[in-house]
Structure 1
């Protein structure tokens, strides 16, 4: 309980505000969907509220946890087995949503393993790099880290073949930034990135084509998203519908919005208004000023997480913070880029605001861990 005295309110307050706003916006964005699906207008509200409450419990647990428990080799090993087994099982029995077989249906909820893998990759890779610092100096970076990188490549590859380009890219970027932060030279990091990119072109893309030919991929949904990104208005009645209606929502909202609950685009015009495009609905109802406030709060979280990492004298804790900051940054950029038409739509949710249990709980895990690290730092400074 002593850690509660050292909570970092630059992390706690934005987290709470964004989570509560997420519940409010999920209710507004999903009320029509709930009714259309034969349920009540508040069905998604209840679920999201439960997800957030459970998320707060997870955050509290992570704050109180001895962070060294996350480095236990048995915990990391068995968590790795579960992660790999889940990703493999998705290929044969995953529930397909928006063109990707990335979910397990468990009772009334759907679990997305790729979300939890982000947390696992961060804590596992941070531990591996921290433990092997001496070996890196003695034997060289590549000799020491080639097998951990091969495991990371396997994880990213399994996410990519779902196919989940957004999730794969986010995990790959987290890995890349943590590798950069480990002390590797810029020349080597660029070489690794180039090799990974070449591997995607020469191996992954042909593999995806082969899987499609074998009948495991039943549509070209990912390709359609590229087409919609390039020529949205030419396909406004088909694959470009999401982006075109996102533009309409942003235009309707203006600076101050049309008022909470008054969105037009959520009433059947804009698909996925409570997940991928919730920021378009938020902007339509509450205006550009509120959207900028949300981005500012998220920016504060990211900057504070980076600052906690910079201040830490532990390589392990610093790498966790850099991984979490990368996760929040890339996920936000992908979502907003899709909403604004600056990037292809990847099906990535907006942190804290979008509906979803897996994303809410993963965010709780990473933010609880960063809050733990920050509290340890503040307690150390107060007692020394």
Structure 2
């Protein structure tokens, strides 16, 4: 029998928290562990640590989910927004210290390796939790001034471009920068920013890309051109499509296609279980969806997509019942985060999106990713705990 306060918290958790959301993310995570176990078999002894680390991360994530369900994030953000912003900048700047290391597959300087921790930490993943909270607070505060006014849009866009630019400059992780930009778009749309600003933003981004394209490194240009050539069937760069910049995607789509409807069988995937250098790369991280396609087929892939879709829709459901606009923006922000990472990762595996080093939420291996995802979902659970009852919500919609 634990302390009285803990017993009370546990009873309150099971009475008010979002148990369905917790069940969905646990199902996705454990499904991911099964895929990771298969994906690391070719490594032999060197790969044995991945599954225990992932399971420990999930356990810590459940604790984070429990704790964050009881945190009033609105009050916390309003009181601590300056410290949160400083923390985000500080943790990204840590990548410039000797603790900053390259990723396993992307080569970007995206990770922090501390000698006293068994796993590396991805600062941009941690900062993303606070970025959504800060952007939601901005959206709420700017509603009083007019969310679609020029100065309001500049403030929202400026915060986003600063963080996305900082990550791109220091770590070279353009995929994560893209997620931050996507979060801004979806949250600003949710907050009611006029459509004309999004049109102007698209035109500005297109112009910036046109001007910057000749100055981008060749390897980044190739990542985009091989996708375009693959989709259009351009045969002039066949080598690049299969052996050069498009090698990872070509192996991935081959694995998915060879799985058919029901797959080659768990622990039986030809590429997944092969130790050959020409086999599927990053199979326990970026290409975990391809592992699922090869061994469990279309049925397994649909199960992955349906689980993630259910989690995203649950976040949207909570957002629609939130007791304040800020809480709604937060829940929608985390739904957008999952949607963006899911779409980009699966797009990479299907050869319709460039390789940008983004993992599949809840399924891919990654300790810091799992814990932060559970913390984000815990915040959504907390919003659900404090949501308006249906009778009050309906009454509030009638106006004064």
**Fold shared by both chains (TM-score > 0.5):** yes
Q: Does 1:284 align with 2:294?
A: yes
Match in the other structure for 1:104: 112
Query: Please, what is the CA RMSD of the aligned residues?
Result: 2.5
How far residue 191 of structure 1 moved from its aligned partner, in angstroms, is 2.3
Cα distance, 1:319 vs. partner? 0.5
SS in 2 for 1:135: coil
Cα deviation, residue 147, structure 1: 3.2
From 168, 174, 177, the counterpart of 1:160: 168
- Quote the offset at 1:193 in angstroms: 4.3
Aligned counterpart in structure 1 of residue 69 of structure 2, from 63, 67, 78: 63
The answer to whether the 8 Å contact 1:176/1:193 transfers is: no
Structure 1: stretches of 5+ with no match in the other structure: 213-219
Say whether 1:22 aligns with 2:22.
Answer: no
- Alignment-derived partner of residue 186 in structure 1: 195
Measured after TM superposition, the shift of residue 370 of structure 1 is 0.9
2:4 aligned residue: none
The CA deviation string for residues 272-295 of structure 1, in whole angstroms up to 9 with x for no partner, is: 000110110011112210110110
What is the DSSP-based 3-state SS (H/G/I as helix, E as strand, rest coil) of the residue aligned with 2:109? strand
**Structure 1 stretch 167-176 or stretch 244-253: which is displaced more?**
244-253
Aligned counterpart, 1:222: 220
2:233 alignment partner in structure 1: none
Give TM-score scaled by structure 2 length. 0.83
| Separation in structure 1 between the aligned mates of residue 270 and residue 223 of structure 2, nearest angstrom | 23
Shift of 1:17: 0.3
SS at match of 2:113: strand
Distance, in Å, in 1 between the alignment partners of 2:186 and 2:50 is 35
- Which piece of structure 1 moves more, 81-90 or 273-282? 81-90
Equivalent residues in 2 for 1:107-256 (5 A)?
107=115, 108-136=118-146, 141-161=149-169, 162-199=171-208, 202=211, 209=216, 220-229=218-227, 230=229, 234-235=239-240, 236-256=242-262
Q: Partner of 1:101: helix, strand, or coil?
A: coil
Task: Find out whether 1:79 has 2:84 as its counterpart.
Answer: yes
In 1, distance between residues paired with 2:248 and 2:201?
36
Tell me if the contact between 1:228 and 1:243 (Cα under 8 Å) persists in the aligned partners. no
Return closer, same or farther for 1:66/1:131 CA change in 2, 3 Å cut-off.
Answer: same
Deviations 1:33-60 (A, max 9, x none): 3x3xxx4442111111111111111111
